[in-house]
A and B are shown apart, each in its own frame.
Chain A
């Protein structure tokens, strides 16, 4: 498969055939249907898709933060530095989480503890992973707040989360996540709840910090604009599978999967003129509780032919570092 020959040291995270299921009362939801991809050291990888496509589940699977009672990773491996995360003990996993892999969420308020000051929480993260003394950790916390460009950090370290604005909370979250200089930062829709001007600030901050610290970033979002502005490589997910994978320039220039193409066209874009009908993707996403025969996008796809409805396409190379799971990718790219 794609780029599989390169198990060199520049691969940080190597995911193979990851399958995660959710268990309902009487049904099983195949949230991830066997996905494989890699995150290289220091790169920014975008994961795009609409709600229910499995992008957040991917992040939670990697960190092993799935709800214990209702979800389980049933297959595949997640190799971080060559070690399979899925086989680690909870203790070892806790050490990796935060120390080597950190995560920031869409709504910072839910992941910040309301009863401790921001400084305390950053210092705590520092202490857990470095054994620094309390005062050193607090100094580090202030430094982190300065790093994420919170105005007057000396005062803000003593603020509680509710005393900060949404943008500042997200900055504080980033400060906590980066406090132990992780090798991989997973950002799950970090700017979706923010206003555009604040979003622009946070995106720029993440890109700057990434450049400065060399942390690899896995950027999960539904917003193609955000992907275009921040990511180097992009994975497009649909119905629990990766349908396309490419570097960002190729992806936007020549989308090889009809879903990617449809997604791009349905975003209002001034370059196509206004007050015209937007090209829409007809239909709705498939129900992942039921087994899907053939390509999961076939019922909505303008390119679908008989083979699409019978056989599930696998991800295959359609150009240099460009892969798509579509039987007719070449024709799609030609259009």
Chain B
């Protein structure tokens, strides 16, 4: 059918654009790191490095190759999940350590931990925020709406670590309900894991819910002002039916957009929160690697974060195209 093919075309276009963006982003990340001054290998090992170890690292990293060659071999590594070995591990090996792990092995469990945290947060935050946002829009300018507005504004304005410590103070120190440290390890029971992730998840929920709720409210208010909603009311339909049948189908696209945007926002928030709660996720690894300048790990993490971010935005884009009746049923 004609409609299907045109919508398919738009979706494919967006997918292609997303891929191109990701490709360019990978170039930016790679080039940025190559802006480092002096010799890469010396920078890694510090001043006390022996010439032999510098030479070894240089060979390991293929630093004698031209930049383009190095980029494509790095990109190939990323695509085949062969992320190389971290500098910390290389050093470890150079000083006679045994049993080094690759970056992929380092990242994989942490990535799944972070995904778990994000999933728990999303499960709490999305229904909560959308419900509250719709309520605030329906009862706008009431005391409830004003209180919600003040609360969400404050919550958006506060740094994540402020929320984190307030929660620790009340839910861990004064009333020991949840543990303040999230020492999660493999093979842990789901319930225990959930309990230990609760405080970081709640912190993220507070921040994300506020954003999501404000945006949902704005989207719904915008929608409720449209003439077809007035028309539905003037047809004598019940308030419930006006919302469910007339507002929601059209609100889907903006709400999906809001959700995706905020899940993308989680990516940034997760870094700080993981550090506060010592949660063994990818954000924690990223910050640690930044501190010790472990370039390969920083690059890999950065690319993963960027990819997740682009993917979420792309999903939002495509879903809102699919939910638009004008595009789904072209003339």
> Are A and B a genuine interacting pair, yes or no?
no
- Which B residues have a C-beta under 8 Å from some C-beta of A? none
